[in-house]
Amino acid sequence: MRVYVDPELCIGCGICEGEAPAVFSLAASSVAEVVMDPVEADHEEAALLALKDCPENAISVIESETTASPAADSADDAEESPTDYILERKKEMKAIVDQDLCIGCGICEGIVPEVFSLQNEPYAEVLLDPIPEEFQDATREAAEECPESAISIE
């Protein structure tokens, strides 16, 4: 498994380092750095815990192939492993537009029309819930670019 910390999102809180010190470090920077790549099997659980607990969702798995023994996964193919569960949860994203804040400028629709629309209302409506992975980066960008900070992401 390989993990990545988005330096734009990381606030340097140190939670990841506290939970998985072999994988994440803030020793050399004000944002967390990945110091074990790929993450060794013994440290995957701790790394995924950090991923789950990161308050900024700054940690992502960029390659989920585990270095753990394949026997661990073959025990019950039908059952979702804790790793799959956490990864699946992490992928889910929901966007909410605060109608009281939205001024209908259309910036969000311009960035990602698959997710935001002003076709039917004077404010932006969210068309997709949850947001599919392929639109998540653009949705985050739309939230950042919204001049009224009307878009929140969960």
Interface contacts to ligand SF4, rule CB under 6 A: 5, 10-16, 24, 31-32, 54-56, 58-59, 97, 102-108, 116, 123-124, 146-148, 150-151
Residue 56 Cβ vs ligand SF4, minimum distance, rounded to whole Å: 4
118/97 Cα distance (integer angstroms): 12
Among candidates 125, 122, 121, 93, which has minimal Cα distance to 108?
Answer: 125
108/32 Cα distance (integer angstroms): 30
Residue 33 Cβ vs ligand SF4, minimum distance, rounded to whole Å: 9
Residue 138 Cβ vs ligand SF4, minimum distance, rounded to whole Å: 12
Closest to ligand SF4 by CB, 5 or 46: 5
Closest to ligand SF4 by CB, 72 or 147: 147
Residue 7 Cβ vs ligand SF4, minimum distance, rounded to whole Å: 9
Token output for 87: 């990864």
Closest to ligand SF4 by CB, 13 or 127: 13
A 10 A CB-CB count for 137 gives 10
97/66 Cα distance (integer angstroms): 37
Closest to ligand SF4 by CB, 83 or 124: 124
41-53 and 82-91 are packed helices; what angle lies between their axes, rounded to 10 degrees?
30
